[in-house]
Homo-oligomer: A and B are copies of this chain.
Amino acid sequence: MKDGAQAPPVVPEVLTQYIGFLLSRMGTIAQKRFSTRLEALELTPRMWGALNVLDAAGTITQHGLCKRTGMDPSSMVATIDDLERKGLVERRAHPSDRRAYALHVTDAGRETLSEGREVVQEVQDELLAPLDEAEREQLRSLLVRLVTAAGNTP
C-alpha cells in the first residue's frame, strides 16, 4: 500500500517561509491549469487576458493593451493576430491616429467571452477549493494590493 504513504510532496517546508517562492509556484500552477482548460476554446491565457481587457475597455489600441496587461508589444502582435484569425477581434482604423489600430471585440468574441467565463470560473473554484468564501476574498484583496504596488514601483 504505497498510495497511502504517498510522499508529503510538492511543498518542502523550507520553502513555505518564502512567500516569493509560494507566489511564483502557485502562479505557475494556476497558469498551467487555465492554459489546459482554455484549450477547449482554442484560447491561450494571453488571448484570454487580452480579450477581457479589450472588452472592458470598449475600444483601445494595441499599445494601450500592452500597458494594461504588461505584455510585450511584439507578443501583442501575435496575440491579436490569433484573436483576429479566429474572428473574435477586429483591427479597425483609428479615427485620429493612422499609426494605430482601434481594436474591437466582435459578436463572436463576446460569445467566446461568456463561454470562457464559465470555464475560468470552474478552474478558479478548483484552485481555491481549500478556501472558504471569506478567505478567497481576503486573498484576492491582498493580491490586488501587491500587484498594484508592484506595478507602480519598477
Contacts of A138 in B (CB 8 A): 138, 142
Residues 114-152 of chain A, each 1 if its beta carbon lies under 8 Å from chain B, else 0: 000000100110111111000110111011111111111
- A20 contacts B by Cβ under 8 Å: yes
Least distance between A116 CB and chain B CB atoms (Å): 11
Identify which of residues 1-54 in chain A touch chain B, using a CB-to-CB cut-off of 8 Å. Answer: 6-7, 9-31, 33-34, 45, 49, 52-53
A140 in contact with B16 (CB, 8 Å): yes
- Count the A residues whose beta carbon is within 8 Å of the partner chain — how many? 65
Most buried by B among A22, A31, A69: A22
CB nearest to A7 among chain B residues: B67
B25 in contact with A26 (CB, 8 Å): no
* Pairs A–B under 8 Å by Cβ, sample size 20: A6-B152, A7-B67, A9-B151, A10-B70, A10-B152, A11-B144, A11-B147, A15-B53, A18-B52, A19-B136, A20-B33, A20-B127, A21-B49, A23-B23, A26-B146, A27-B28, A127-B146, A130-B146, A130-B149, A131-B142
Footprint of B on A, CB under 8 Å? 6-7, 9-31, 33-34, 45, 49, 52-53, 55-57, 67-70, 120, 123-124, 126-131, 135-136, 138-140, 142-154
